[in-house]
Structure 1
């Protein structure tokens, strides 16, 4: 059995360490890599759009490449968003 008298209150715990800021070099590298990752997405939109205009449907042999390009492009957009937004600070705990 546990003894409630020996338990420490939650406010007696030490506060978490403050988050370390990300360096500007890493942020720039993430943004540049994200821009390079947008290029396959742009090509996928271009070639996918060209094949739809020609035939009215995406050719079966081109569909996986278009999908892969779009996924990489979405990943690039997410990387740019993460570089600009930065890391969130942890929530502040009440002193209860």
Structure 2
């Protein structure tokens, strides 16, 4: 005799449990991520301004170009942090 109230998979194995949802992130962590991301955008903005100034000069300084690239990388990290805060887990 079989128990009709308990569903069985087509291959005869017992049903598996649904996957657990990841824990929700608190609103405070999301706010801190967004604020820190905005703070990281400021070096990126300065890098854009100094990079334009360095490229328009007759002989660009390699040190200034390196700092501009570093600032752009920090700004990109800020964009990714804001994106992660908005998107969630």
Aligned-partner Cα distance in 2 for 1:8–1:60: 68
What CA RMSD, in Å, does the superposition of the two structures yield over aligned residues?
Answer: 1.9
Which ranges of structure 2 fall in alignment gaps of 5 or more residues? 1-10
Gaps of 5+ in 1: 1-6, 88-96
Pairing 1:41-60 to 2, within 5 Å after superposition: 41-55=44-58, 58-60=60-62
State how 1:1-96 maps to structure 2 within 5 Å.
9=13, 12-55=15-58, 58-87=60-89
The two structures have a TM-score, normalised by structure 2, of 0.77
Give the structure with higher Rg (CA).
2
CA distance in 2, matches of 1:58, 1:77: 27
| Pairwise CA distance, 1:19 | 2.4
Count of residue pairs the alignment pairs up: 79
Tell whether the 8 Å contact from 1:48 to 1:58 is kept in structure 2 after alignment.
no
Which consecutive aligned stretches of 4+ in structure 1 deviate over 3 angstroms post-superposition?
Answer: none
